[in-house]
Amino acid sequence: MRKKIATPKEISTGEPAIKKSRDFFLDVYDVVRQIPKGRVTSYGAIANYLGTKLSSRMVGWAMNGAHGIKPKVPAHRVVNRNGMLTGRLHFATPDEMENLLKAEGIEVKEHTVSNFKNLFWDPYTHLSL
């Protein structure tokens, strides 16, 4: 079930979306949407699940366009390998990401998810190929 979604450019410019989206983006969004509430995962884990574990940066790029698209993409549940909220500055406000996580019962200190190890949700494991 993959529909056409806009690229970060198209979204940021408020374009009609739907043009030449990459399946990669869609796959990323699908995975992110499946992250259970109260759990988090990393860019690398998603990339790994999609078979392109060396392209974790693309996951971040995809998140860049995950804003305001529908269905909602819980981008706040994606952090880097250390549990750090590296993408927080890309949200409406610098605290948005942190607040969303806290609202789900996740403790955040110093821009880092506490007990990240336990809350980590690996799509490669849970969505078994």
**Site for DNA, rule CB under 7 A:** 7-9, 21-22, 24, 42-45, 47, 52, 54-61, 63-64, 66-67, 75-76, 78, 80-82, 86-87, 90-91, 97
CB of 105 to DNA, least distance (A): 19
The smaller minimum CB distance to DNA, of residues 56 and 123, is found at: 56
Q: Is there a contact between 26 and 73 (Cβ–Cβ < 8 Å)?
A: no
Structure tokens of 5?
Answer: 């979604």
Smallest gap, in angstroms, from Cβ of residue 57 to DNA? 4
Rounded least distance, CB 128 to DNA, Å: 19
- The nearest distance, CB 32 to DNA, in angstroms, is 9
Residue (4 or 36) nearer to DNA, CB: 4
How many whole angstroms separate alpha carbon 55 and alpha carbon 127? 19
Distance between CA 51 and CA 94 in Å, rounded? 31
Residue 13 or 107: the one with the smaller Cβ distance to DNA is: 13
Q: Which two tokens stand for residue 44?
A: 């690398």
Residue 91 or 127 with smaller CB distance to DNA? 91
Segment 7-14 long-range contacts (CB within 8 Å, at least 24 positions apart): 7/65, 8/61, 8/62, 8/64, 8/65, 9/65, 10/65, 11/65, 11/67, 11/68, 11/69, 12/65
